[in-house]
Amino acid sequence: MDGGFVRAALTDAYQVTMAYGHWKHGRAEEKSAFEVTFRTGPFGGPFAVFAGSEDFLEFVGKFAFNDDDLAFLMKSYPEMELGFFDWLRNVDTSKVVIRSVKEGTVVFPMEPLVTVEGPLAVVQLLETALLNLTNFASLVCTNALRHRIVAGPSATLVEFGLRRAQGPDGAMTASFYSYAGGVDATSNVLASELYGIPLRGTHSHSYVQSYSGAVSTPIKT
C-alpha cells in the first residue's frame, strides 16, 4: 500500500538533525526505548482500533538509505561531517526490538501501543514512519468499527471514499483499513483487485439524468 514512498527518507527533517546530534556526541548507539500512545480517542469516543503494525514491521525490515537519499541529505546539510553520512549508509535495524499490541486490538488513551527499543539514533529515525503508518490506519479502522456498531451486524456497509480521499495512497489505505474495521465491501476497483475486498457499486446522478429530461418529467400543479 505504500506507492513506493515508504522508505527511510520518509521522515521529518528534525529526525535527521537529531540523529546527527546523537552521532556527533557519541550517543548514536546508546540503548533507548520509545513508546507510542494517543491522548484522546478519535471522533470524541473513548477508544480506538490499533492498525498498521504490519506495514510498519515491513518498513523496519527493509530500512536503509539509498544512494539518492544520501546524496540529497549531503546537499541539504553541507555542514554535517561526512562520517555521519557513512554511518547513515550502514545503519540497519538488526538491534531494534519491537513490541506491539495485536493488530485490530481495541485500545485506550495513554495505553502503550508500540514499544521500540534499540540504538538511540536508529530508533529516532523510525519514529515518523511508525506514526505515519499507524495513525491514519487506526483512524480509518476505528471509524469503520464505529459505523458497524451503530449499523449492527446484519447491515451491509460499503466504503465509497475513493474520489474524496487524500490522494491515491490515502484512498488505498482507507479502503484496506475500512474493510479491516468492519465494512463489507468497497467501490475501489484497484483495492478490490489487490486486497481481495468484495467489490460493490451503485450508479451516479448523471446516469439517471442521462435517461430523463424536462419533457418526460410530470409537472405537478
Per-residue pLDDT tens digits for 156-203: 999 999 999 999 999 999 999 999 999 999 999 999 999 999 999 999
**Which is higher by pLDDT, 168 or 211?**
168
What would the pLDDT profile of 40-57 be if each residue is shown by its tens digit?
999 999 999 999 999 999
Q: Of the candidates 190, 55, 62, 192, which has an alpha carbon nearest to the alpha carbon of residue 135?
A: 55
The pLDDT, as a whole number, for residue 3 is 61
The pLDDT, as a whole number, for residue 215 is 61
Q: The domain at 13-197 falls in which architecture?
A: Alpha-Beta Barrel (3.20)
pLDDT at 218 over 70: no
pLDDT at 4 over 90: no
The pLDDT, as a whole number, for residue 212 is 76
